[in-house]
Structure formats: structure tokens, C-alpha cells
Amino acid sequence: MNELRYKLHMLHTTQLGERRIKENLDLDSDPVDFCRVLMAKEGAQAVRQGKNYYITCDGVEMTVNAGNMTLITAHRTGGRDFSPDGTDRAMECVIPGYREIYSEGAALVNAFLDSSLTWLDLSGYPGRMAHQAFKDCKTADLTLCGVPAAAAEKLRNAFEGRPVSFDSRPVTDLDTEKRFDVITAILPGGCFGKEERERTVSACYPLLKDRGILIISERLAPFSQEGRNLYFNRWSAYQQSRGRSEVQVSEELKKAKGPGSALTVSEELKVLENCGFDSAEVFWLRGIQAGYAGIKGRSSGL
């Protein structure tokens, strides 16, 4: 197994292999990233037979050419590991603190509100924030907004028995007849464009009840060029430590360095204030990602 792990950074697949694995595992995410994370887990088991490795972990069996580390195929051997859809595992290789942002968001809600919550989530597929809301909070009703029909169909099974509804419209098209205690927009590693961000935050404000809370997490922008260099160097090192190839890391950084829509912390807080929120705070910060909270209405004090 150690021999295989030393070569995980070389793992790749062909176009045909990518299509085959996505179909076999019902994935929307990168199958190479998904399988690499499985292979790196302590519980993974691998044997070499002839020219191939055969690796099993979490109900998935993967076949890899031992010579050139081509991921030939992968299929499920047991029950589905609803991460969901492998997206969580792949994102953990890219975003420092990926799961932490969701648990911190839920902890913030619990510190602010102690009641049966109505919740609107704009984070979309794969519904990680929604899973966290039911796990950690007193969530009585949750609406997933902006989820396309195909993705909603996949998520229905994951939330079977839960009070979840789906609305394919963007938040800017929702009416204000229904108000929410909590609205979340968790975008690990990404961000709304600046204009879209302001439209989205403005649309959220009237959808919140008085003393409701908006929670946003987005990629942040450093204040200086020196900070920008440090930021990307640290992020590159993190991704490589999680088994991503130089090509994959380069592509990720290229996207992030493109025409910027990421804001500094102070700029992000200003957007919340400009859209009417009485309080705007940073509640979480790690690596490339920051979490912000906007509170509607003023506190009556302790």
C-alpha cells in the first residue's frame, strides 16, 4: 500500500475512463480526485496482481495501472457512501477546512438562535450545509434554492424523511411571502461575482425575519501583493500535500487568479452593511476562505 501512496500524485485517467467512472459512481465531480482521496485513507486496502493495483475503500473498488498510474475503472461494491456524490471528498483535497466551515456555520446559528428554524440554503448541490443544519441545529423546515431539477432528484433520496423542499429559482426571483430565520450561502473555494454578490445579498435581506441571520462563506482576497503571494503559495502546498498533481494545482490557481470577484474582508463586510444589515461580522477564517454573518435588526442587549 505504501508503494501506491507514494505515487498518488501521478494518478490520472483517460477521457473514456473519466466518463466510465463518473457513470459507474454517479459522480458530478472529478473522478480522479474522488478516487485519490479514497486511496489515501487509512482504511484503504490494495493488492497488486500483474500490471494492476486493485484498491477497495468505502464500498468502492478501483483498478489502476501500476506502471503509469492510469485509473482504469472504479465501481461500487457495496452500499453508497453518500458524501454526497464524492464532492465532499474531492473538495477536502482543494479547500483547507472544507468541512469546518459548515460545522462553524451551524455553531454560529446555535449561538444566535435557539428555536425551530426555517432555513433557506443557497449553497446548492451537494447539500452539505443542509445536512449540517439537520445534524446540529433545530431545523424545522429547509428550502434548497437554485438547485437544478436533475440535482434535486439526486438529493431527494439523501434527505428522505426530512422537511426539505426544492426551488430551482435563484434567490433574486423568490417572493417575500415566506420569511426565514437563517439563510446560508457557502461557496468553498469560489465566490459570486461582485455585482451578483450585491444582488444576492440585497435579495436575502427581505427574505429574513427580524433578527434573522445571513451566513456567507467565500474565497477571500488578500490586502496586498505580498499577501497574495503568500496566500497562493500556502494554498498550492496544501493541495499538493493532499495528493493533487502539479497540473491540477496549477489549473486551480489559474482560475482563482483570473479576473477577480473575490473581496477583502473589509470589502465583504461593507457589502453586507450597504445591503441593510445592522451587524456584519467575520466569524471564521482559514487559509483561502472566510465566513461572514449579517444580522437583520438590532439587539435589545443582554
Report whether 97 contacts 117 (CB < 8 A): no
* Residue 205 CA neighbour count, 13 Å, CB half: 18
- Residue the block writes with cell 461575482: 193
Nearest CA-CA partner of 129 in 216, 41, 19: 216
- Give residue 250's pLDDT: 86
Angle, to 10 degrees, between the axis of helix 15-25 and the axis of helix 31-40? Answer: 70
- Give residue 86's pLDDT: 58
Where along the chain do the CATH 3.40.50.150 domains lie? 98-221+260-295
Round to whole Å and give the CA distance between 132 and 10: 34
Round to whole Å and give the CA distance between 253 and 263: 16
Query: Please, what is the end-to-end C-alpha distance for the chain in angstroms?
Result: 57
Mean pLDDT of 142-153: 82
- DSSP tag of 224: S
Mean pLDDT of 171-192: 86
Would you tell me how many other CB atoms lie within 10 Å of the CB of residue 98?
22
Mean pLDDT of 116-135: 89
Q: What is the DSSP string of 175-193?
A: -SSS-EEEEEEE-TT----
CATH number of 98-221+260-295: 3.40.50.150
Angle at 160 between CA 156 and CA 163, to 5 degrees: 95
**Farthest-apart Cα atoms in the chain, separation:** 71
Domain 2-81's class? alpha beta
Report pLDDT digits (tens) over 77-120.
754 343 444 567 777 888 888 889 999 999 999 999 988 899 99
Share of the chain above pLDDT 70, in %: 93
Measured over the CA atoms of residue 153, residue 154, residue 159 and residue 164, the dihedral's sign is negative
Q: Which three cell numbers stand for residue 173?
A: 426571483
Which amino acid makes up residue 172? T
E-only strand ranges, 58-101 = 60-65, 71-76
Query: Is the pLDDT higher at 299 or at 219?
Result: 219
Report pLDDT digits (tens) over 28-80.
788 999 999 889 887 788 887 778 888 988 888 899 988 899 999 898 775 43
Most confident of 44-48, 180-184, 198-202, 253-257: 180-184
- Give residue 236's pLDDT: 93
Q: Which three cell numbers stand for residue 203?
A: 435579495
- DSSP tag of 12: B
Mean pLDDT of 244-264: 79
- Give residue 235's pLDDT: 92
Q: What is the DSSP string of 99-157?
A: HHHHHHHHHHHHHH--SPEEEEE---TT-HHHHHHHHHS-EEEEEEES--HHHHHHHHH
**Would you place residue 283 in the very low, low, confident or very high pLDDT band (cuts 50, 70, 90)?**
very high
- Give residue 162's pLDDT: 92
* Residue 48 CA neighbour count, 13 Å, CB half: 10
Report whether 110 contacts 84 (CB < 8 A): no
- Give residue 82's pLDDT: 37
Report whether 55 contacts 46 (CB < 8 A): yes
Going by DSSP bridges, is the β-strand pair 45-49/139-145 parallel, antiparallel, or unpaired?
Answer: unpaired
- Give residue 2's pLDDT: 67
Report pLDDT digits (tens) over 262-279.
889 999 999 999 999 999
Which amino acid makes up residue 64? V
